[in-house]
Structures are given as structure tokens and as C-alpha cells.
Chain A
Amino acid sequence: DVKVTQSSRYLVKRTGEKVFLECVQDMDHENMFWYRQDPGLGLRLIYFSYDVKMKEKGDIPEGYSVSREKKERFSLILESASTNQTSMYLCASLGVTGELFFGEGSRLTVL
């Protein structure tokens, strides 16, 4: 089975802190994604990566950056966390058949 692992399930940070959200997949997938999910707004794409060191902005990239140094790992970075970045963050990996696999999610609270 495909495994997408998000290292932190729950985080509490203070405004202005730098936040790293890590995601690892074990199926050698090329495409990986970061979404955020908010009540009433659904899932929104922040960034995606289609290969090592390659990245593309999604619908809401402002305030975020990403890093893909190795194929299996895709990191989301909040350079200076703000309260409006309190959300559920979901990492996903795309299989060769077009099936998307998600991690368990990271619930971030920014105080």
C-alpha cells in the first residue's frame, strides 16, 4: 500500500515563527502536493512539485514556500507564521494511474 506520512499531526506555533511541515511518500511518485483545508472553503492547492527541485505555485501560495530536495520528501515552509494560516494541511502524492494518496494531515494552530 502507498504510504504518505506527515511528520507532525498537531502543531501550535506563535505568530512570526518559522514552521516546517514534512511529508514523505514511499512509492517513488514524481508528483506531490500541499493543500490546506478550511471549513466552508474546501481543499485549496498551495504548491505542487513534479520532480526533485521542481515546484509550481498552486492557487494560494502567498506566505508559503516549499522544498523538494529528494524525490520522496516534500516540505512546506511558513517563513513567518500568521494567525490566518491556522488550518489543516494535507500532503498528497500522485500515483502513475492518476490516483491521489493523502497523508493523515497536520493541524496547525498559530497563536
Chain B
Amino acid sequence: KQEVTQIPAALSVPEGENLVLNCSFTDSAIYNLQWFRQDPGKGLTSLLLIQSSQREQTSGRLNASLDKSSGRSTLYIAASQPGDSATYLCAARTGANNLFFGTGTRLTVIP
């Protein structure tokens, strides 16, 4: 069974810093990998989707990479802002209805 791990569980950085969030998965046979953001008490907001044939996706200050062979994905956030403070989750899809979530990294950006 696919296992998805996100380390660290929590991260605090000063405003303006560039940072990387990590996501590891045990089974490289994935269809895609998706990154989400979750604010306290809210649902998940989709940030980036990387298909299995792709190496990276970019949206604004966010860049996500995928290395299937090593079972890793990273989410790079450039020039962090206090508004980026949230929990970030990754999820690896192995089938139409098989999606495995990581437990998330709680990010705090300090003004």
C-alpha cells in the first residue's frame, strides 16, 4: 500500500525566505501528485498537479517537482509571505479512486 510522508511536520521561517517542503511516497507507480493548501478550519485548496509524465509545475511563486524514481516531490515557495502560513499537504494518486495523502507540513511565516 502506498505510504506518503511529509517531513518536517512543522516549519517556521522569516518573511522573505525561500523554502522547500518535502513529500515522499513509497510506490513510484503513480498517476499524478497533487499539492494542497489548508487554512485552519477550511477545506483543501489545490495548488499544483503534476502528472506522472511531468517533472515540474509552476504557479506564481510556487514550483513543484516530481521525481518518481526516487519517490519524492518538493514544493518550492519563493519569497515567503505571512499569508503563506497554512498546512500544506501532498497526495499521490495510484488509481482513479485511490489517493493517498501525506499528514502535512504546518508552515508559519513570521513577519
Contacts and interface: CB of A to CB of B under 8 A. Distances in A.
A34 B24 CA distance: 25
Contacts of A94: 96
Nearest to B31: A98
A99 interface: yes
Interface string A69-81: 0000000000000
A92 B38 CA distance: 14
Given A31-B96, A42-B103, A50-B96, A99 B41 contact: no
Tell me the dominant secondary structure on chain B's binding face: strand
Interface in A44-86: 45, 48, 50, 56
Contacts of B51: 97-98
A40 to B, nearest CB: 8
Contacts of A42: 101-104
Tell me the dominant secondary structure on chain A's binding face: strand
B97 A98 contact: no
B61 interface: no
A88 B101 CA distance: 16
Given A31-B96, A50-B96, A97-B49, A102 B101 contact: no
A94 B93 CA distance: 11
A107 interface: yes
A102 B44 contact: yes
B34 interface: yes
Given A90-B44, A105-B41, A100 B101 contact: no
B70 to A, nearest CB: 21
26 contacts: A4-B43, A31-B96, A33-B97, A42-B102, A42-B104, A43-B89, A43-B101, A50-B96, A88-B41, A90-B43, A90-B44, A92-B44, A94-B96, A97-B51, A98-B34, A99-B34, A99-B46, A99-B49, A100-B99, A101-B46, A102-B36, A102-B43, A102-B44, A102-B45, A105-B41, A105-B42
